[in-house]
């Protein structure tokens, strides 16, 4: 149960509200290519419009190089938000300063104002109290609904709560409740599928899942670090050499857990390899576990070495068919599945293709999670590349919960406190 006050628990009548949203959406050539995060904020925005006097929204976008970085402007978001809520959305060309001051002063009852990118000011990420105090001067109440940023102690997530009564929006409440429930009271068996590029980002959550899950499957680029830890020569594959000892520690912990109770920790036993990453490069499957096969007539007794190891200039770009089928089989036995990170390279040339040479491992696991093979578990999905994948495949509605926060969801799953949640008023 969410322990913080929400917008239901505070008097908003005749109040000006400052809403911290997470509008960090992809923008290309001035156009938004994915408005999922904006749409997820609409329940909170509509409630505030119905119950408060005026609404001011602040957010960040990307990592701007400076206040003149037009590619990081929130202006396209203001235009898209105006379309979604069908009412005027004003735009201030700064988040504090003359433009913001005038825009706030001129803001009419029932209207919306979006401030410019908070990260145009270094004070935002430095959690500067004077900057937060200036932001707070624009409103009577602060509402935190940017789940994707609450794991950071920034001016708009932490310091601002010292200057205004601060409560949660509906999205933040839903995110925290859903993730907390699947971690503490899942319907078992509980399965965690963890992929993506770097093991360093997911060390804590891997340790946590080994302790509480029934099946943990590792894939993606981070799996290569585990393979290197088992002695496999991964050649040109993406992996973190410095984290090989960490991977070994995690595998030892998993082995100890498996001796105490029924538990599976899975890393790939085969993979799709290629010499380069593009849509047309030649691929092959390498099965590093198949040193000897059964003595069956018409089949060689020994597998060629090239079938069990990578060549000098090859790299692992996806899990293989056996590994994908094994994980999909685990999904069929699970009642709750948490997925964060793709199993291979699903994005090529900056786009998520529906069918790619290195996305088949992810495809079969997704098919299992959405019930294509019979069982349909309760599914929770997080991580930017993961959400991008299911959006490209138009599968958002096939999952029970698709998180708007990659880093925040991992921190919450690992059991850490989120600064932007801790500062809110308790119920």
Which active-site residues does the annotation give? 37, 198, 384, 407
Cβ-in-10-Å burial (0-12, 13-18, 19+) of 61 comes to: buried
Residue 397 burial (C-beta neighbours within 10 Å; 0-12, 13-18, 19+): exposed
Distance from chain centroid for Cα 268: 22
Integer Cα distance of 318 and 342 in angstroms: 9
User: What is the spatial distance between Cα 153 and Cα 420, in angstroms, rounded to a whole number?
Assistant: 7
Residues 355-393, buried b or exposed e (16+ Cβ, 10 A)? Answer: ebbbbbbbbbbbbbbbeeeeebbbbbbbbbbbbbbbebb
- Do residues 379 and 178 make contact, with C-beta atoms less than 8 angstroms apart? no
**Cis before residue 189, ω within 30 degrees of 0?**
yes
Q: Comparing C-alpha atoms, which of 360, 389, 346 is closest to residue 271?
A: 360
Task: Spell out the alpha helix ranges (H) of 230-269.
Answer: 244-260
**Residue 327 DSSP SS3:** helix
Q: Rounded to an integer, what distance in angstroms lies between the CA atom of residue 179 and that of residue 381?
A: 10
Q: What is the DSSP letter of 354?
A: S
Burial 143-173 (b: 16+ CB within 10 A, else e): bbbbbbbbbbbbbbbbbbbebbbbbbbbbbb
Q: 18 near 167, Cβ under 8 Å?
A: no
């Amino acid at each position: 149960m969410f322990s913080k006050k929400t917008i239901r628990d505070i008097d908003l009548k005749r109040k000006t509200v400052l809403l911290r949203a997470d509008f960090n959406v992809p923008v290309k050539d001035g156009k938004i290519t994915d408005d999922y995060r904006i749409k997820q904020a609409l329940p909170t925005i509509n409630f505030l419009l119905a119950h408060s006097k005026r609404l001011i929204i602040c957010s960040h976008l990307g990592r701007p190089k400076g206040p003149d970085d037009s590619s990081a402007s929130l202006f396209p978001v203001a235009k898209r938000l105006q379309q979604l809520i069908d009412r005027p959305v004003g735009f201030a060309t700064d988040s504090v300063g003359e433009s913001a001051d005038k825009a706030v002063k001129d803001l009419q009852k029932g209207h919306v104002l979006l401030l410019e990118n908070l990260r145009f000011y270094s004070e935002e990420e430095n959690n500067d109290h004077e900057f937060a105090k200036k932001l707070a001067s624009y409103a009577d109440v602060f509402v935190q609904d940017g789940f994707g940023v609450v794991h950071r102690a920034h001016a708009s997530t932490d310091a601002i709560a010292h200057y205004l009564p601060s409560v949660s929006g509906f999205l933040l409440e839903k995110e925290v409740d859903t993730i907390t429930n699947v971690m503490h009271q899942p319907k078992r068996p509980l399965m965690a599928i963890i992929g993506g590029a770097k093991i360093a980002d997911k060390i804590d959550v891997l340790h946590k899942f080994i302790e509480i899950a029934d099946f943990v499957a590792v894939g993606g680029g981070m799996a290569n670090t585990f393979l290197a830890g088992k002695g496999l020569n991964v050649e040109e594959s993406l992996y973190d050499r410095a984290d090989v000892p960490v991977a070994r520690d995690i595998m030892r912990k998993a082995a100890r857990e498996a001796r105490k109770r029924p538990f599976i920790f899975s890393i790939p036993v085969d993979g799709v390899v290629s010499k380069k990453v593009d849509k047309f490069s030649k691929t092959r499957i390498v099965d590093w576990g198949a040193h000897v096969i059964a003595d069956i007539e018409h089949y060689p007794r020994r597998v060629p070495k090239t079938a069990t190891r990578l060549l000098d200039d090859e790299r692992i770009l996806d899990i293989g068919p056996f590994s994908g089928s094994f994980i999909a089989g685990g999904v069929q036995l699970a009642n709750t599945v948490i997925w964060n990170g793709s199993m291979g390279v699903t994005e090529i040339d900056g786009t998520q293709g529906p069918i790619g040479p290195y996305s088949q491992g992810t495809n079969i696991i997704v098919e299992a999670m959405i019930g294509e093979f019979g069982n349909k578990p309760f599914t929770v999905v997080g991580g930017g590349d993961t959400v991008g994948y299911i959006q490209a495949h138009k599968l958002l509605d096939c999952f029970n919960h698709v998180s708007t926060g990659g880093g925040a969801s991992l921190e919450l799953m690992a059991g850490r406190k989120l600064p932007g949640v801790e500062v809110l008023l308790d119920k």
